[in-house]
Amino acid sequence: MHAGAWWLWALGLATAASRTTNPLLLGLIVGVAGYVVAARRTEAPWARSYGAFLRLGLFVIGLRLLFSVLLGSPVPGAHTLFALPELPLPAWAQGIRFGGRVTAEQLVFAFYDGAKLATLLACVGAANALASPARLLKSLPAALYEAGVAVVVAMTFAPNMVADVARLRTARRLRGRPTGGVRAVLQIGLPVLEGALERSVAVAASMDARGYGRTARVAPAVRHTTNALTLGGLLGLCAGTYALLAAEGAVYGLPLLGVGLLLALAGLRLGGRRSIRTRYRPDRWGARAWLVSGSGAAVAALLVHAGSVDPEGLRPGVVPLVAPGLPLWPAAAVLLGLLPAFVAPVPSLSSKESFR
């Protein structure tokens, strides 16, 4: 499976999650992503990172609730749960409070916001667990190769760190040493940092040995045209994406996104002339890749449409406090994200082969 297809599928689920605060739909998106990861992940180290992203999402929810309790919320509430001692703040901090009354409405509002961010993290974790970073780098356009190396190294830091922590905890368990507590964490942290430094040095040495950074000469007119097209395309993509994510900008968001995409592709096409590298056995974008990426795009498009048709179902109110319901056809749209679990090829590579 093409690595880009997994990322497009995950970004489609993330776009759908950004359009709703309904915890039932958000939980359904997390469940869909988790099922696909369990069905189609390999034995590579990065494939075990999904659980770490889920734990990070739970931490984000807890942190959001803690901030809401300590710093208050702009949401008015009538159901007081408890009250904390309120500290007086200076005049320049007007509008901010520390402590005070805590209501059920503000906690529910904070939970909805934290659940949305946790779902976005789960979608990114699913892409990290399913897409090989090396194959993703190989599939990037030639003009983005240098920036892509930095992005791939950054994306593999967290999965490799999770793998190192699991390996060291297993080694300590086999030696009869404790794996929990502050002392064990401090003893595991130093080897993890040492391993990350060794990998960074090895990556730098391999890049230097392969002539990384060499570029071909192009005419100044081509270089200036490339910069103009790329900059215009990125501005169009940013404006179109912001319009799609905003509540009222979906009308002009798609045209801006399309124009920006065309300009960016033209700039990348011209910018690829500066790269003199070759590809060995490039990945092909086949029918399965279209189905995987298309399922994520379909989920995003249907949830964007549902936001204008049934906004109450996707964004349940907190004032007055009501129990969220499960809108049926948006939930059925989210279930389209399960398609990769049935159409993507079953992984058959071993851990060593997955590193290649």
Provide the pLDDT for residue 120. 93
pLDDT tier at 37 (50, 70, 90 boundaries)?
A: very high
Provide the pLDDT for residue 306. 87
In whole angstroms, what is the distance from residue 240 CA to residue 253 CA? Answer: 4
Note the Cα 163 to chain centre separation in Å: 19
pLDDT tier at 28 (50, 70, 90 boundaries)?
A: very high
Provide the Cα torsion 209, 211, 213, 215; round to 10°.
180
pLDDT tens per residue across span 244-256 = 666 555 567 778 8
Phi then psi dihedrals of residue 103, to 5 deg = -110, 160
pTM for the structure as a whole: 0.71
Provide the pLDDT for residue 35. 94
Provide the pLDDT for residue 199. 72
pLDDT tier at 54 (50, 70, 90 boundaries)?
A: very high
Tell me whether the omega of the peptide bond preceding residue 320 falls within 30 degrees of 0, making it cis: yes
Provide the pLDDT for residue 208. 64
pLDDT tens per residue across span 274-320 = 666 665 566 678 888 899 999 999 999 999 888 888 888 888 888 78
Q: Which residue has the higher pLDDT, 63 or 162?
A: 63
| Residue-range domain boundaries for the chain | 3-215+286-354, 218-274
